[in-house]
Amino acid sequence: MVWGFSFFGTLWPETAGKGYFVFFLTMSGSLSFIQEWFSQAISRPLTFEAGIAQVHASPELHREAGTRIRSANGVNGFDRLAIYNRQYWFRLIACMQETYPCALHVLGLKNFNEWIMKFLERHPSDTPYLAELDLKFAGFMEKNFPGESRGTVVEAIHYDRAHDRAFTAPESGPLVGNHPGSRFQISPHATPLWLHGDFTSYRNLCHDDEALTENIPLPPRENGVMIFRKGNRVYEKEIPRAAYLVLDSLRTPKTLAEAFTALDPDLTPETASVLEKNLTHWFKEWVEWGWVSSPDTL
């Protein structure tokens, strides 16, 4: 049986593929076998040699592609497979570039792309949802990125991901309960961060660099921010240290009493005083902005 494979991944008998950009696989076996082989083949990692993306492939894959994919117009089966391989990986890299403008400029384009390849080779995409492609990226970089700039790189990654999360995360449910035993948790779309650079202005400058190659210095600035969604818009609001500590402790469900207990090692007398004076007012605002939710409604 000869199967045609469209650019969009649809298989059909050869006679049905006329007029479309297809290449033909000549192999026996079920349709599901052909699909699984092709999927695995195009998702093999790329390597970068002299700045050019090359297909990283074993001799076995060369032989398989040569026997399973017909040559056409002077292009052999493996090179035809490589076209799809490159498009697959370029799309993943482009998604990461779009999601992480600050991290890209902190690292530089070439360095960023190389680390994306290392990350995806270690943690290949195993979900149909691109929004979940980078779930382990920050942890991977924190563990593996060398040098004194690691902290800045990881902060940039967390900041960029917070903006993406604010846009893609589900809405929080209604707040249930308002008594001492009530438990609260940060809403899925809200992320509190404590930063050591002015990432707010930096991200705007990074977005303006369409070529992705401009060397943009990160202005130093220590501040706390909450990045969240309200309605259909993403917002970023500055928060004081005391508010950040409480909100950060609510990444896992807690009563407010449990949150205060968790804060004890981080509280200076000054921070504790600010917290005592403002917590009631802050908490009302957090509920109004949708920053906190009841765990049972998430």
3-state secondary structure of 231: coil
Question: How is 245-274 classified by DSSP, letter by letter?
Answer: HHHHHTTS-B-HHHHHHHHGGG--HHHHHH
The answer for 73, left when phi > 0, alpha when psi is -120 to 50, beta otherwise, is left
Alpha carbon distances (Å) from 264 to 58, 186, 223, 252, 261: 55, 20, 21, 17, 6
Residues 13 and 3 sit within 8 Å (Cβ to Cβ): yes
Alpha carbon distances (Å) from 118 to 78, 115, 150: 24, 5, 16
Supply φ then ψ for residue 196, to 5 degrees.
Answer: -125, 20
CA angle 162/114/154 to nearest 5° reads 30
Report, in angstroms and rounded to the nearest whole number, the Rg of the chain calculated over CA atoms: 25
CA–CA distance, 168 with 160 (Å, rounded to integer)? 13
3-state secondary structure of 12: strand
Its pTM surpasses 0.75: yes
Counting Cβ atoms within 10 Å, is residue 102 exposed (0-12), middle (13-18) or buried (19+)? buried
CA–CA distance, 274 with 280 (Å, rounded to integer)? 11
Q: What is the pLDDT along the chain (298 residues), one digit of tens a residue?
A: 333 443 334 333 443 444 334 455 555 557 788 788 887 777 776 565 545 556 566 677 778 877 778 888 888 888 888 888 888 888 889 999 999 999 999 999 999 999 998 998 888 877 777 778 899 999 999 999 998 999 999 999 999 999 999 999 988 777 766 666 788 999 999 999 999 999 999 999 999 999 999 999 999 999 999 999 999 999 999 999 999 999 999 999 998 888 878 887 778 888 888 888 998 899 999 999 999 998 865 5
3-state secondary structure of 9: coil
Tokens of 107: 């690292």
What structural domains does the chain harbor? 2-90 (no CATH), 100-297 (3.90.930.50)
Q: 51: which DSSP letter?
A: T
Tokens of 18: 């006329």
Q: Which residue has the tokens 């060369």?
A: 62
